[in-house]
Amino acid sequence: MTIEKKYLDCVLVPMGIFVMVAYHLWLLYRIVKHPTKTVIGVNAVNRRFWVRAMMEDVSKNGVLAVQTLRNNIMASTLLASTAIMLSSLIAVLMTSGSSDRSSWFVFGDRSDLAFSIKFFSILVCFLVAFLLNLQSIRYYSHASILINVPVKKMSQHQRHHLLTAEYVATTVNRGSYFWSLGLRAFYFSFPLFLWIFGPLPMFFCCISLVFMLYFLDVTFQFGWAVGVNDDSSHKDEELGGEARS
């Protein structure tokens, strides 16, 4: 029976991780090839429009832009603080050898090595979430300064305006991408937590999480906005071509 339980850990855990990784590779493909069909892609396009709108009149929109970016910084700070706090808690559980873990309700491998691997996986997950949210804070902090640069007063060339707005929009989007990745690390910690109680809860949690993330990541209600975004992007490209000429 013990050997069968070890086989369950060796089979179901890699299968659950494979399902999660395969889904996110598919999502990455959709974001790159069909961005307007994903929530992340639609938000990235709208953030570019928002940055350009904020930089049209810095004197009027500067406070609103900085306040919005500050809210994003606070959200990333909260996730980073939570991640490092949970990492410390997991480290304490790993080093505490006084508790008898063999009495825990675990349907799977109950050896000390198995528990060490489980706790270490959760620890790495939260450390990755902490680092990703730190990068998000970094990019948002840079963007809060760049978005208030008075470009129109410094240069009258339209090409310079477009390049500067594009650079600021890219910086804001990178901060959002890192925040999304940090949030994904928190999502990924749920199956790892359930892995403590056995491979079966971990595997079913991976399947349920993929179904939930699919409905959160794929957009169904913004089909009418796709044409608007595509037309706007073509207009932006035409403006950029005219500025270059």
Tens digit of each residue's pLDDT, the chain (245 residues): 445 666 777 788 889 999 999 999 999 999 999 888 899 999 999 999 998 888 887 778 888 888 999 999 999 999 999 999 999 888 887 777 555 555 555 665 666 777 788 889 999 999 999 999 999 999 999 999 888 877 666 656 555 555 688 889 999 999 999 999 999 999 999 999 888 888 888 899 999 999 999 999 988 765 444 444 444 444 444 434 443 44
Residue 218 three-state SS? strand
| Global pTM value | 0.79
Q: Are the CB atoms for 115 and 102 separated by under 8 Å?
A: no
Cα dihedral 198/202/204/205 (nearest 10)? 140
Tell me how far the alpha carbon of residue 123 is from its chain's centroid.
18
- Phi, psi for residue 220 in degrees, rounded to 5: -115, -20
Query: What is the gyration radius of the CA atoms in the chain, in angstroms?
Result: 23
